[in-house]
Amino acid sequence: MKKFYDKLIQTRHYLHRHPELSGQEYQTTDFLKKYLEDLEIRILDSNLKTGLIAEIGSGQPIIALRADIDALPIFEQTNLPYASQNPGVMHACGHDFHQTSLLGAAKLLKSMEEDLRGTIRLIFQPAEETSCGALEVIGTGYLTDVKAIVGFHNMPQLKANQLALKPGAMMAGVEKFKVEVEGISSHAARPDLGVDTVITLTSMVQALQVLVARTVSPFEANVLSITHIEAGTTWNVLPQNGFFEGTIRSFSPSSQKKLKEDFIKIVENTAENFGARVSITWDQTPPVTYNDPDLTELLFENSKTFAEVVEARPSTAGEDFAFYQEKIPGVFAFIGSNGADDAPDLHHDTMTIDDQAFKVSVPYYVESALCLLRCYK
């Protein structure tokens, strides 16, 4: 197996040197396609612009394995010999590791294709970082006949031999908002002749900060962060327009819905109180990444044969794998990729991965697929 894992390491390092942004993964897709064709794995006609879907085996049940392939707009500072050769773009989230893990699993599953009792569908998904890719895959129709889907994300805080799972919420549901306020501009010396956009904005921000603290149970984890605010261009004029933006994170779909409803009420009522106009824009963002309880328990035990399995600590980050889980049962794991006390986190310009983690990530795909084929047969 040493030669097998050495080849995977070389493959990941190649992909790490050649990262591509969300929706622009053309060379990555060509590389994946050739890799799979060399293994004589059939590639489906999905009409995806980037990314691809392939299959091993035949018949029902169909189990899907998913890996994301896009990188981030970050200047790499690792000084690794295989650091990014695409300035300003980096696999700072480890998607090079994810897709290479699925390539390794594909090779092993292909070698046992004649014995498979069902189909393994391989999803190399684009544009996870922009929360678009999963919906593009769902739009192909290749999820409608799938019984269950399996995915993972590397986690630098876990050691390379560890795998973390839990039923229910694994990653937060995400709301991204932008609130735009329009008042009436006036000279700063005559604010009575205008409608103060700055006061309206800051009053909204202050009121929203108590939304989680005073309306949500202290036993639930929720976050509301306002991260960007702009208004005005000079010191002596009340601006006509301004805005702020930020995010809401929740592990409970019902809490997420209630927070959004209360957010809208506070913003609209504050605008009305000051006589300003307001509009709220909500981006397309993923819901809660919610693991099927029965399947998670099954894979938790099954994974003990190749990893140290621990109970996962949920992450407040978002993950568009959640869109799949709205359609079919799914299990999403965290796989250790560093484990050092000072390991740089995801999306950091010095984030690195311990290649020994392949010895957990590849079996996770393979053994989970085989286990679920048996489960649904």
Only one residue has tokens 């939304």, namely: 211
129 has binding-site annotation: yes
Closest Cα partner for 344 from 69, 89, 157?
157
Q: What is the C-alpha separation between 344 and 350, in angstroms, rounded?
A: 6
Radius of gyration of the chain (CA): 23
SS3 245: strand
The DSSP line for 44-78 is -----SS-EEEEEE-SS-EEEEEEE--BBS-----
Only one residue has tokens 């679920």, namely: 372
Q: Please give the distance of CA 69 from its chain centroid, rounded to a whole number.
A: 11
The dihedral region occupied by 218, where left means phi > 0, alpha psi between -120 and 50, and beta the remainder, is alpha
Q: Please give the distance of CA 377 from its chain centroid, rounded to a whole number.
A: 30
180 beta partners: 243, 279
348 has binding-site annotation: no
Q: What is the C-alpha separation between 72 and 80, in angstroms, rounded?
A: 17
187 has binding-site annotation: no
Q: Output the CA–CA distances (angstroms, integers) from residue 314 to 81, 238, 286, 322, in the order listed.
A: 33, 44, 15, 14
93 has binding-site annotation: yes
Contact at 8 Å (CB) between 69 and 129?
A: no
Extract the runs of DSSP E, i.e. beta strands, from 126-240. Answer: 148-159, 162-165, 168-171, 173-182, 186-187, 222-231, 237-238
95 has binding-site annotation: yes
Q: Which residues does 271 contact at the CB level (< 8 Å), separation at least 6?
A: 181, 200, 204, 277, 278
Do the bridges between strand 168-171 and strand 289-291 make them parallel or antiparallel, or are there none, so unpaired? antiparallel
Binding residue numbers:
93, 95, 129, 153, 347
Binding residue numbers for Mn(2+):
93, 95, 129, 153, 347
